[in-house]
Amino acid sequence: MRARPLAGAGRLDALRRALPGPVAEELADGVVETFHRHLATDRDPGHAAEGTIAEFGDVRRIVAAFVEQSAGRRAARRLLGTGPAVGACWAAALIVDRAWTWPTPAPVRAGLGLTLATVIALLALAATATASYRRTRLAALAAVGLIGLDTGLTIAAAVLLPALTPPLAVRATTLACTASLTRLSLTARALPGLLSL
């Protein structure tokens, strides 16, 4: 009688659907190897499958463990955690410089607001993922959006900075630019790892 790993390929197929290809293949190799080790000592495929499941856990627990440790979920949590501080710096700069008086077209303001809301929603979805590895990949899209926002705000501030006459406005804008450039640098460094998921 030929033994079937984990009493069928269904669980391995579920892992392959739920996790990135290389991760799923490596994990599947480990599951099959563990099954064969148990089978060599017990000779009963059912007991070997039970022993393997006891050692590895069921598919949901395995996927949940990988999702919890995923680079996308961790990056999303970091970016959500730093967002309020960077946002507060920009809010202070815009308030001190009375940004509501700027001749900015309404579509530009709406576009910036919509982009920011989308980035926050994507980060929230990735950061709260518990059972979907694919959902953690949304952090890459959010990172690209944040890089665009931080770059745009920093360039706009650099262009406007010479026109800012009150020293407080210059300091507030400089602090906001520094916060954005720091986040931009950290996000850009994390992005290749997020895109490779």
Nearest to 139 by CA among 153, 120, 115, 113: 120
Q: What are the pLDDT digits (tens) for 20-32?
A: 777 767 776 777 7
Q: How many CA atoms lie within 13 Å of 180's alpha carbon, on the beta-carbon side?
A: 26
Domain boundaries of the chain, sorted by first residue: 5-66, 71-195
Closest CA to 135 of 126, 143, 127: 126
Q: What is the pTM of this model?
A: 0.75
Model pLDDT for residues 122-165, shown as the tens digit of each residue: 999 999 998 888 889 899 999 999 999 999 989 888 887 667 66
